[in-house]
Amino acid sequence: MAAERGRGSADSFLRMRIEPLGDRAFLVHFADDGVSPASPFCLAGDALRELPWVTDVVSGLASLAVHVDPRRVAPDEAAEVVVERLLTMPDLPAAASHVVEIPVTYDGPDLEAVAAHCGLEPDEVVRRHVAPVYEVRMIGFMPGFPYLARLDEMLHTPRLETPRPRVPAGSVGIGGAQTGIYPFESPGGWRLIGRTDTVLFDAAREPASLLAVGDRVRFVERR
Amino acid sequence: MSAPLTILRPGLLTTVQDLGRAGHQHMGVPAGGAMDDVALRLANLLVGNDPGLAALETTLQGPALRFEGETVIAVTGADQSPTLDGKPLPPWRAVRVRAGGELAFGAPRSGCRAYLAVAGGIDVPRVLGARATYLPARIGGLEGRALRAGDELAIGETPVRSRTRGLHVDVVPRYEGTLRLVPSGQFASLQPNARTRFLHEEFRVERRSDRMGVRMEGPVLGFREPMELLSGGVAHGTVQLPPDGQPIVLAADRQTTGGYPRLGEVCTVDLPSLAQLRPGDTVRFTTIAPEEARRLYLERERRIAALSLALRSTR
């Protein structure tokens, strides 16, 4: 099913494609040419969660997964309502204005390997990692795990061929074109360049996850 | 508070589960809860509980435990040869237990996960709205972990109506060896040979399967052209196709986002069958339209509602 409407034919954000995600959910895909910034609709989760039959909304890198209660609504009817709501939102959601600072000790086991892969000195890797203000594009993989966009292209490094069975909690890593932080000890395939004591997820805290989609993050080197 | 129950032997993997915590996937927390939510709900209804109270989920080899106080219990789901004070315990039936009574599970005969409901429900604190245990982040249940020998679990207040009764054999759920899939947008891009094999050949459940995902071993599948996908939300029942061409069906404690191509999602009414698959079991896949899948779900919910009413009014 394709729903094509737009406020301007050049605006790639507004071409949406609906796809079933089983019998209780659907995906709304936004056009992504790999160059344009993330669709602002990926930040529309909060607005959609207000709908009475929505049970959850999960932002993807270029999509929204909308989970519904099928006793209250048919998913295909729900999809039409969601698309209508997205297209008629008075203000497009914007990224957060405040920036969360995450202190990091850059002593990760893969720092040298990343430096070698990128043709840089390790402290140049650190300089380039702390420079940008990142945007949280997605929370997934584990509770509170942020996928951060705007990693310096010079630092892009492919994931490990074989993931480590155990990555320490608080590990800061690079996976392809993204950087992120492991909230818990878990298996992991990203390249570890440092670690933080900042607690990313605490079920007893409100909100439990420190970061949400649309938040902005800066890493600060701790010596 | 009713008298507690004591774990004597933990079994392979026994956890406190309920119907899970909806509404937290955007934080990376899946709904989780019982893999076979129907078996849990029916066990609760049999003992006079609200269907969403916490119960124990066992895996393959079940636990041995003692009830310190007189109570009523029900065991549903897989057949793991349960005995009560040494005598075979009939499944899908509420049974009175004396103070000091001991329940033990023996040889796993069929299915993978059994559910033990106790009148009053297992009383552990709610975390993020539910008592379900989410092991990857150590959330919920008893201290966020699998049960161990010596653990004592508090039981909630006994409900007013607690009778012994059972489910008629016609109403006992049947577990199927065919999983019906709502196809994804990528399904049509399977190589023609792969599509045929996926829909006509058997897959075997791999040993590495768990509450996060059920891994399948079978014909190696592939797409007509390489799939460039951006990570996004997935569901309980999503069938992923990683680069090795062997499908993985995401389960209750799955990651909330994924980057692998999806073949589709197992329909909701077939999730209990997924929950009961053991390593080594064979399974087949077929497709189903989303509207038909939803119709089956609504029908099933009506049946459970009718059953709930009938159980509440029996004398």
Predicted confidence (pLDDT) per residue in B141-150, tens digit? 999 999 999 9
**Is the complex ipTM more than 0.90?**
yes
Q: Is the pLDDT of residue B306 over 50?
A: yes
For chain A, give the mean pLDDT: 89
The DSSP bridge pattern shows strands B102-104 and B232-233 to be unpaired
CB of B275 within 8 Å of any CB in chain A? Answer: no
Give, to the nearest 10 degrees, the angle between helix A111-118 and helix A122-130. Answer: 90
Query: What pLDDT sits at residue B206?
Result: 97
CB of A22 within 8 Å of any CB in chain B? Answer: yes
CB of B98 within 8 Å of any CB in chain A? Answer: no
> What's the pLDDT tens digit per position in B175-194?
999 999 999 999 999 999 99
Distance, CA of A74 to CA of A56 (rounded, Å): 15
For chain B, give the mean pLDDT: 95
Q: Is the pLDDT of residue B153 over 90?
A: yes
Using a CB-CB distance cutoff of 8 angstroms, which residues of chain B are in contact with residue A75?
290, 294
Chain A residues 87-106 with CB within 8 Å of chain B: none
CB contact under 8 A, A23 and B26: no
Q: Is the pLDDT of residue B298 over 80?
A: yes
- For residue A43, name the pLDDT band (cuts at 50, 70, 90): confident
Contact between B271 and B300 under an 8 Å Cβ cutoff? The reply is no
- For residue A187, name the pLDDT band (cuts at 50, 70, 90): confident
DSSP 3-state of B134: strand
CB of A220 within 8 Å of any CB in chain B? Answer: no
> What's the pLDDT tens digit per position in B193-252?
999 999 999 999 999 999 999 999 999 999 999 887 889 999 999 999 999 999 999 999
CB of B59 within 8 Å of any CB in chain A? Answer: no
Question: What would the mean pLDDT of A205-217 be, rounded to a whole number?
Answer: 94
Nearest-by-CA chain A residue for B302: A71
Q: Is the pLDDT of residue A111 over 80?
A: yes
Give, for A37, the enclosing helix (H) or strand (E): none
Q: Is the pLDDT of residue A13 over 70?
A: no
Contact between B255 and A140 under an 8 Å Cβ cutoff? The reply is yes
Residue A200, Ramachandran bin (φ over 0: left; ψ between -120 and 50: alpha; else beta): alpha
> What's the pLDDT tens digit per position in B18-70?
999 999 999 999 999 999 999 999 999 999 999 999 999 999 999 999 999 99
- For the entire predicted model, the pTM comes to 0.93
The DSSP bridge pattern shows strands B248-250 and B238-240 to be antiparallel
Using a CB-CB distance cutoff of 8 angstroms, which residues of chain A are in contact with residue B264?
22
Using a CB-CB distance cutoff of 8 angstroms, which residues of chain A are in contact with residue B234?
21, 65
Give, to the nearest 10 degrees, the angle between helix B37-46 and helix B290-313. Answer: 10
